[in-house]
Chain A
Amino acid sequence: MKTILVAEDDSVTRMLIEKALAPLGHTIVTAENGKEALEQAERHHPDLVLLDVLMPQGHGYSVCRTLRERPEFTGLKIVFLSSKAYQADRNQGMALGADAFITKPFNVNELRSTISTLLGE
């Protein structure tokens, strides 16, 4: 069993994501903003982070950058899951070291398969 951190400020979307990931059988931990995402990452050392971009108290790009700078998170998979659908934003997210960038509204099967592939399942 792996641990997935879902960082998403919208409570309804967060719940939808948790519901979508439930069949994968992993442990899900959540965060409501960028600051909390970093705290949860330190606390739980997840295998994968699903990261919203537009969050209060630290946008997703800054969270991604911080995680990539810290050696204790080497090997962590980072997937952006954002309503920002611009190619420029996708490019920026990938340039910061993300493993994938999925736009909302997301396809449940695409989300699950992306996660499973990244977790080597």
Chain B
Amino acid sequence: MTLKFWGVRGSIPTPGPSTLRYGGNTPCVEVRCGDALLILDAGSGIRELGNALMAQGRPITAHLMISHSHWDHVQGFPFFIPAYVRGNSIHVYGCLGADRSLREVLEGQMEFTYFPVALDELGSAVAFHEVDEGQFQVAGVPVRAMYANHPGLCLNYRLEWEGKTAVYMCDSEPYDRLANPEDTAPAEEYVGIVEGIDPRLAEFARGADLLIADCPYTAEEYRQRRGWGHGSVEDVVQIAVDAEVKRLALFHHDPSHPDDKIDEMVEHARSLLTAARASTECFGAREQLVVTL
């Protein structure tokens, strides 16, 4: 299994001199499992991936797995050139929207008011597959999906191929933070299993060769942004330690963070892993980085 990062930034594309090393495109990760081409999310990074695929000069069958429908994860789709080429096949996977179908989710941003080409005018054959929490196959690759704690509906994906595992855990905040906003013990009359959910995230990532994890905030920033649907370096490291993952990619960088800040966060994560006596290797996801498992 080989992965290539084409977009690593959260929220909004952030081109400019302060993001040159990590990159400013929103999420997109190319995954190759044998001959199968899987694409995790269609942030603005998918445009460059599309151009690279076109340069190969062959018909393309791509399996695009959308984590959720927030702009930064779908905004690149109208600029994915292979979708315009007759003879190509694009399979789109994602969860059913809260109030509309997966097709309508992508169709909406290509309506006349927002974009000049409608979804049904694309030249390729585009098929939509609504998926759910659970297990299924994408192009013969076994996939597990689990809902993340994020406003709206958001899926984490676990891909397994020839003994290697990559987990894509994008846009996720620990459940207990919102359930217990004051960091105090819940009152006795409160019941309901929320504290049991967060450990499920570590179980979902258990033993992964690579965990790609949403990590936009420092602990201090998180305190100001509790309830925004994202976690901190500490949260992500805790999952990596609990899950005993081999490699941890800090991902979905905050748009306000210049490259040097991300370097600091990576160093901080490494020190936390060392303190936890974990053997997990940590790095900051950056555009064009290739990881072979």
**Interface residue ranges, A against B (CB under 8 Å):** 10, 12-13, 16, 20, 54-59, 61-62, 65, 81, 83-89, 92, 95-96, 103-109
Instruction: A83 to B196: give the CA distance in the assembly, Å.
Output: 11
Instruction: A12 to B96: give the CA distance in the assembly, Å.
Output: 26
- Known contacts A56-B133, A86-B227, then 20 further A-B pairs from the complex at CB < 8 Å, ordered by chain A residue: A16-B192, A54-B133, A56-B132, A56-B134, A57-B132, A58-B132, A59-B98, A59-B132, A59-B147, A59-B153, A61-B98, A81-B192, A83-B194, A86-B151, A88-B152, A92-B98, A103-B179, A105-B190, A107-B187, A108-B191
- Residue from the list A13, A92, A108 in contact with B99, Cβ < 8 A: A92
Chain A residues near B98 (CB-CB < 8 A): 59, 61-62, 65, 92, 96
Q: Name 9 A/B residue pairs within 8 A (Cβ), A-sorted.
A: A20-B191, A54-B153, A59-B153, A83-B149, A84-B149, A96-B98, A103-B178, A104-B192, A108-B191
Contact status B193-A12, CB under 8 Å: yes
Chain B residues near A65 (CB-CB < 8 A): 98-99
Chain B residues near A85 (CB-CB < 8 A): 178-179, 227
Contact status B191-A89, CB under 8 Å: no
Contact status A107-B189, CB under 8 Å: yes
Given known pairs A65-B99, A105-B186, the reply for A13 and B193 (CB within 8 Å) is yes
Contact status B229-A86, CB under 8 Å: yes
- Residue from the list A13, A55, A57, A106 in contact with B190, Cβ < 8 A: A106
In the assembled complex, B245 has its CB within 8 A of some CB on chain A: no
Given known pairs A10-B196, A86-B229, A92-B152, the reply for A61 and B179 (CB within 8 Å) is no
In the assembled complex, B289 has its CB within 8 A of some CB on chain A: no
Least Cβ–Cβ distance between B11 and chain A, in angstroms: 15
In the assembled complex, B175 has its CB within 8 A of some CB on chain A: yes
Q: Is the interface of B mostly helix, strand, loop or mixed?
A: loop
Interface of chain B residues 112 through 169 with chain A (CB within 8 A)? 132-134, 147, 149-153
Least Cβ–Cβ distance between B8 and chain A, in angstroms: 24
Contact status A83-B96, CB under 8 Å: no
Contact status A105-B178, CB under 8 Å: no
Q: Identify the closest chain A residue to B148 (Cβ).
A: A54
Least Cβ–Cβ distance between B61 and chain A, in angstroms: 28
In the assembled complex, B95 has its CB within 8 A of some CB on chain A: yes
Contact status A89-B190, CB under 8 Å: no
Q: Identify the closest chain B residue to A102 (Cβ).
A: B192
Instruction: A56 to B151: give the CA distance in the assembly, Å.
Output: 18
- Residue from the list A10, A13, A87, A108 in contact with B189, Cβ < 8 A: A108
Instruction: A96 to B153: give the CA distance in the assembly, Å.
Output: 14
Chain A residues near B179 (CB-CB < 8 A): 83, 85, 103-105
Chain B 178-189 near chain A by CB (<8 Å), digits 1 or 0: 110000001101
Least Cβ–Cβ distance between A23 and chain B, in angstroms: 14
